Each structure stands twice: as structure tokens, then as C-alpha cells.
Amino acid sequence: MTDVGRVLVVGAGTMGSQIAMACALAGLDVDVGDIEPAMFDTARHQLALRVDRMVETGRLTEPEQDDAFARLHFTTDLDTAAARADFVIEAAVEKLDVKRELFARLDRLCPEHTVLATNSSSFVPSKLADATNRPDRVCNMHFFNPALVMACVEVVRGPQTSDESVRTTVELARRLGKSPVVLDKEIPGFVANRILNAVRDEAISLLENGIASVEAIDTVCRTALGYPMGPFELMDLTGIDIGYFTKQARYAETGDPKDAPSRSVTELVEQGHLGRKSGRGWYVYDAHGKRTMSAGGT
């Protein structure tokens, strides 16, 4: 298996930056690449807040915190970062053309042994592998938000993904303290999100048909079903646009109207209400991400 010593995470957003920090906390050297330098200050600030809480609760010591940040390198120079990467985790925007172009570029830049993994929950390996000359070293390594906390990582192999690449990805996930689950056959949405999307679709249907409010549906899911948060709260946490792009991609693939984004989700995205990160989604949030207003109907 590939001896992973240095990881490149492409995308300095919420997921990418947290995946990068998980790698750094595990003792790996990490490059975080993004085309927008402004993303780096936001990423550092958000990571500092999260890691400070880990220190406060005793899960991490201050020297461990300092060492992790020292191993974390933010860069716009993708060429240099890719050339020294043993493993790449792509966490860019959920748009297939963007990802395919990126994978083709990474294939040209990375060493021959490098595994190219995508964090996408929308696009299976075969959608990206043929953009490269290394389809045997392309797979999904799907983390869950918040990536610093959630234990599960779905490792999805494509038709051409090698056993060695799967083992390397599984061992990397374990090194990060995660619980990897291998899917031996690719399917859009994988396991968790296919189940989650069924719940999410039903929640939106209940809302749009005037059965119950956002807050009522979330309350039922928490208090009757034991969910840690309701489906609308979760959409706000992960980003309403993420689910929207996922639905768009699925609809483009199947042409089935039931796979298209719902009316209410489409309206929120068009208005720029993307959840906590924008200050408003199904709920309204203050500058610290604390909910300040209850949601109403749509």
C-alpha cells in the first residue's frame, strides 16, 4: 500500500478545512489548496475555534494543537502541492465539470502512486476516473459534517478502483481515527445520504403540503425518533446548496422529476439563503451561528 506521509486537500471550505485538520491532528503534513486566498483566513479562524474547544474539553493539549497547525499549509500553488502529495482528497464545489477538470489536472501533476479521492456524495468514482490516466487509483472518501467530529467515512470503489487503493484509503481513514465503511459497488448517494435523503424529501413534502411547520417537523424527529437534530436543522448545518447541487446532478442523470430539487429548496438557494454559513436558511442565525429566530412555513 502507498505510505501516506503528505496529503493534499483541494478546497478550503468548511468540509475541506476540517478534513485537512483531521489529517494534521493525525500527524500528517497537509497542504490545503484553493483558488481563493480569502478562504484561508476564514478557514484558520473556524478551525481555531473548533480546536480551542477540543483543548478546553481536554481532548487535545496545547502542544498538540500547535503541532497540528504547524503541519497545516494553505496555498494557491496547486502545482507544487500536487507534485508532493501521496494522497489527494478533493472537496471542491459539487459540480461535475469542475471536478473532472480538477481530476485531469491532478492526474498530470501528482506522482504516479498518488490516490485521487473525492469527498463528493453526489458523484461516484466512474464519473471522475475516466478524466484521468489512473482509474485504478480513483475512489470516493466521503466524510460527514462536521468532519472533525463525525466518525464515519464511506469509501466507495468504482469499477476500476484497485484493491490496493481501497486498502490505502481505509488505512488512512483509520489513521485519522475514523470508522471507514467500504461500498463494493458504486451507487449515487452511497448509504447514509440515500437514507437521509428519503427522510429529507418526506420532511419537505410535509412542509410544502401544509401539514406541519419546519420547527414542528424538526421537533418530531428529535423527540419521537431520537434524531440529534431535525432534517431542516441538518440542512442548515451542512449547507442547503449542497443538497440542491446533489439533487440537480441526480436529476440530470435520471431525468426523473422526483430527483429534481424541491420548490422550497430552489427558492432558498436562489435567494442566497444557504443555512448557517449565510446567516439564514430554514432558520435565521447570528454572526456566531446561533439560531435567533424560529422558522415558519414556506
Give me 249's grid cell.
Answer: 446532478
Residue 298 clears pLDDT 50, i.e. is over it: no
Residue with more model confidence, 252 or 128: 128
CA angle 12, 15, 19 (to 5 degrees): 85
* Domain end among 160, 183, 206: 183
- Please enumerate in sequence order all residues whose Cβ is within 8 A of that of 255, keeping only pairs 6 or more positions apart, or say none: none
At 296, is the pLDDT very low, low, confident or very high (cuts 50, 70, 90)? Answer: low
CATH number at residue 273: 1.10.1040.10
Q: What is the CATH number of the domain that holds 147?
A: 3.40.50.720
In the chain, the number of structural domains is 2
- Which residue did the predictor score with more confidence, 223 or 245? 223
Of 171, 163, 113, 117, the C-alpha closest to 140 is 117
Say if residues 15 and 119 touch (Cβ distance below 8 Å): yes
Which residue, of 183, 211, 240, is where some domain finishes? Answer: 183
Q: How confident is the model at residue 188 (pLDDT cuts 50, 70, 90)?
A: confident
DSSP state of 257: G
End-to-end C-alpha distance for the chain, whole angstroms = 51
Same domain, residue pair 105 and 135:
yes
The stretch 193-210 carries a mean pLDDT of 94
Set of cell numbers at residue 252: 440530470
- How many residues comprise the chain? 298
Mean pLDDT on 91-112: 96
State the residue range of the domain holding 233. 192-290
Residues 163 and 56 in one domain: yes
Neighbours of 93 (CB within 10 A): 13
Kindly state whether residues 98 and 233 are assigned to the same domain. Answer: no
Residues β-bridged to residue 183: 156
What's the rounded mean pLDDT across residues 292-296? 70
Share the mean pLDDT of the chain.
94
Q: What is the percentage of the chain residues whose pLDDT exceeds 90?
A: 86
Cis bond before residue 63 (omega within 30° of 0): no
Residues 59 and 178 in one domain: yes
Residue 109's H or E segment, with its range, is helix 96-109
Q: What's the whole-model pTM score?
A: 0.82
> Which residues are the active-site residues?
121, 142, 154, 193
Residue-wise pLDDT tens digits, 35-84: 999 999 999 999 999 999 999 999 999 999 999 999 999 999 999 999 99
